[in-house]
Structure 1
Amino acid sequence: MAEIPTDPNENPTEKNIPKNKQGSKIIYRYVISFSYLHLAALYGLYLCLTSVKWPTIGFGLLMYHITIIGITAGAHSLWSHRSYKAKFPLQVILMVLNSMAFQNTTITWARDHRVHHKCSDTNGDPHNANRGFFFSHMGWLMTKKSDEVIKQGKSMDMSDLYNNPVLRFQRKYALPVIGTLCFILPTFIPMYFWGETLNNAWHMNILRYVTVLHVTCCINSVAHKWGYKPYDKNILPSQNVLLSTFALGEGFHNYHHVFPSDYQASEFGNKKLNLTTWFIDFFAKIGWAYDMKTASEEVVRNRAERTGDGTDLWGARDNNNYKIIEKVE
């Protein structure tokens, strides 16, 4: 495994940038779309409790987990941060799973995320947490990007993604690929294989889609508001163990902003709540994932002692001294 850069100031642009005080132009067609999706998801929850078949519920849970993996291991770790490399078959798998999640194309998702890390919680951040909980959670998806966000996006080097044939294919055929994988197939499968009704299958899939969207959006909102800061107490991103449970390992957000290139996105590869790391490690064993970047234990401990708030991985204090839970193998 390759070790990530150990520069203690590797996120210098997170500070000293003026906060955004401007309002945003609302995109009403997106407001209407999100309103429908949430009403349909609530109806799906009702159907889940009244008439949906058990296999459909199980299928929805499976879809929840694999589509989050498409975001965490794919759009996030592989393509936004380049924290590991993947051979062609794994890239295709991750593109398919990412399309099932439908949070825009991977190239657009990665561009916004790279801008977020460059300009975290400032005027240049697409989902600036200083503009309020709702904006950072989902409001930014329904408003026009500020001039500064657009400027930062245009300045971002995206050549590695534009030159990727798998991502070019997803981008070129976004409507049929994402439409089929996210909405048509997950509705058709329960109907064909165990006789679920169209009404139940459709609304259960929308419930799954909206739930995944909210969980990933919580990284931008919840993890920037509540939690502990063992590695840098001067930034908003925080450790949130509960969120990590639902986001399959992505709740160790204070660590991630300090060491963004660590493929594990958590302290010392802790795997208790980190199904994303399990996924990448499995494909590393069969040779489809390689060159995983990690932060050395010494660098992580030193950073925690220098700028952390004194909490450990789980948020417990030990006489106000920093304490690390041993690495889980």
Structure 2
Amino acid sequence: MIYKMAPNTRNENTITPESDMLEKLIVPRAEPRKYKIVCRNIVVFLYYHFAGLYGFYLCLTAAKWQTILAGYIFFIVGGLGITAGSHRLWSHKSFKATKPLQLILMLFQSCANQHSVAHWVRDHRLHHKYSDTDADPHNATRGFFYSHVGWLMVRKHPEVVKRGKHIDLSDIYSNPYLKFQNDNSFWFIPLLSFVVPTLLPVICWSETISIAWHVNMLRYALNLNVTFMVNSVAHMWGYKPYDKNIAPSQSHAVSVVSLGEGYHNFHHVFPYDYRSDELSNIRLNPTTIFIDLCAKLGLAYDLKRAPREIVTARAKRTGDGTME
């Protein structure tokens, strides 16, 4: 079952010019609202997680080591599709990629099954433009559960729908790889995220289809939750060396599990920096290492970085004094 949930999503190729009449949103903002529950989404998420738990049990009791290794590889592949692809390349344009790398990252992102790149980028650009307000799709002001997964179990806030129409996605829809993925997401994304990872162990080393399926569901649930942790944990707990006045925080733990996306205070202050962290290293920011490797191979170029002097000046002006 594809992660893309029709009752809570819309594909909008048409961009409405932003009006000066839109109300300015003050951070933080979470005005009282009546939640419209999407029961189908709740059932789907419950299945994902219970199936993943069973997959974890099978990893301990019955799954072949090759199946477990394949699940881990697909976890890394899907994670890089989100972190290097959806996030740093396409949402923030923090570096440029050759066509072969764009194709690879689109395929990786499809393995993660977190909507099409077009949908992911629209929500993420909204998140940065209106962070921690009602126009933020996963507004952390509404609490941990809402920002982690609850926002996907209810219909979008009207401000998200209204302001989402003004987000410019022309760069995304003009990309032939991303247009293909978006137009064919109903079959293409499930193929790469569910069918291929399940059939590979069955065909290559005679794993049972039940074990292969549930181990992949564990992998998928983990991919989802480490991404969700950036929206929830990294907006609630941690230190703020670059801007103490915003919710996004630095979290080593989140960075470890999310392949380097946990340094959220830096990222929200300098979203154009391809490292998403001033102090990138191979231990805590594998995505940066991946992009650097691609650059050495000639697949990535024009890597943008915030100048050290600007980072230091900002930390002295608005940080909480914890800059290393």
TM over 0.5: yes
Following superposition, the deviation at residue 18 of structure 1 comes to 4.0
1:191 matched to 2:195: no
Equivalent-residue separation in structure 2 for 1:268 and 1:58 (angstroms): 30
What is the root-mean-square deviation of aligned Cα atoms in Å?
Answer: 1.3
The share of aligned pairs that are identical, in percent, is 53
Partner amino acid, structure 2, of 1:295: A
| Deviations 1:140-171 (CA, angstroms, capped at 9, x unpaired) | 11110011011111011111111111100001
User: Which residue of structure 1 lines up, in the alignment, with residue 157 of structure 2?
Assistant: 146
Aligned length: 301
Q: Following TM superposition, by how much is the alpha carbon of 1:272 offset from its aligned partner in structure 2, in angstroms?
A: 3.2
Give 1:17 shift. Answer: 6.5
Shift in CA distance, 85/242, structure 1 to aligned 2, threshold 3 Å: same
Indicate how the Cα distance of structure 1 residues 92 and 73 shifts in structure 2: closer, same or farther if over 3 A, else same.
same
Aligned to 1:82: 93
Q: Distance in 1 between matches of 2:77 and 2:193?
A: 12
Q: Deviations over 1:52-97 (max 9, x none)?
A: 1111111111111111000000000011011111111000000000
Name the SS of the counterpart of 1:145 in structure 2: coil
Kindly tell me: are residues 49 and 299 of structure 1, through their superposed partners in 2, closer, same or farther at Cα, counting changes over 3 Å?
Answer: same
Q: Distance in 2 between matches of 1:189 and 1:48?
A: 16
Structure-to-structure mapping, 1:243-322, within 5 angstroms: 243-312=254-323
Q: Please list every run of 5 or more consecutive structure 2 residues that lacks an aligned counterpart in the other structure.
A: 1-23
> Does the 8 A contact of 1:14 with 1:120 survive in 2?
no
Report the CA distance between 1:19 and its aligned residue.
3.0
Q: Select which of 51, 63, 68 maps to 1:57.
A: 68
Once residues 240 and 91 of structure 1 are traced to their aligned partners in structure 2, the CA distance between those partners, rounded to angstroms, is: 29
Alignment partner of 1:200 is 2:200: no
Higher mean alpha-carbon deviation, 241-250 vs 263-272, is at 263-272
AA matched with 1:157: D
How far apart, CA to CA, are the structure 2 residues paired with 1:279 and 1:137?
Answer: 26
Residues 1:156 and 2:164 aligned together:
no
Task: Specify which of 59, 78, 82 is matched with residue 67 of structure 1.
Answer: 78
Cα distance between partner residues in 2 of 1:274 and 1:159: 30
State the match for 2:147 in structure 1. 136
TM-score (norm 1): 0.89
How many Å apart are 1:269 and its aligned residue?
A: 3.7
Mapped pair 1:230 → 2:230: no
1:193 Cα deviation (Å)?
Answer: 1.0
Alpha-carbon deviations, 1:10-54, whole Å to 9, x = none? Answer: xxx884574332132111111111111111111111111110111
Question: What is the match of residue 8 of structure 1?
Answer: none
Cα deviation, 1:254-304, whole Å, max 9, x if unaligned, reads 000000110110014444311101111111112211111110011111111
Equivalents in 1 of 2:297, 2:72: separation in Å? Answer: 26
Structure 1: gaps of 5 or more residues: 1-12, 313-323, 325-329
- Counterpart CA distance in 2 for 1:246 and 1:195 is 30
Query: In the alignment, what sits opposite 2:112?
Result: 101
Contact 2:255–2:284 under 8 Å retained in 1: yes
Instruction: Tell me the distance in 2 between the aligned counterparts of 1:95 and 1:14.
Output: 33
1:103 aligns to what SS in structure 2? coil
Give the Cα–Cα distance (whole angstroms) in 2 for the partners of residues 169 and 25 of structure 1: 32
Query: Is the deviation greater in 269-278 or in 225-234?
Result: 269-278
Q: Contact 1:14/1:118 (CA < 8 Å) preserved in 2?
A: no
Deviation at 1:306, TM superposition (A): 0.8
Aligned to 1:23: 34
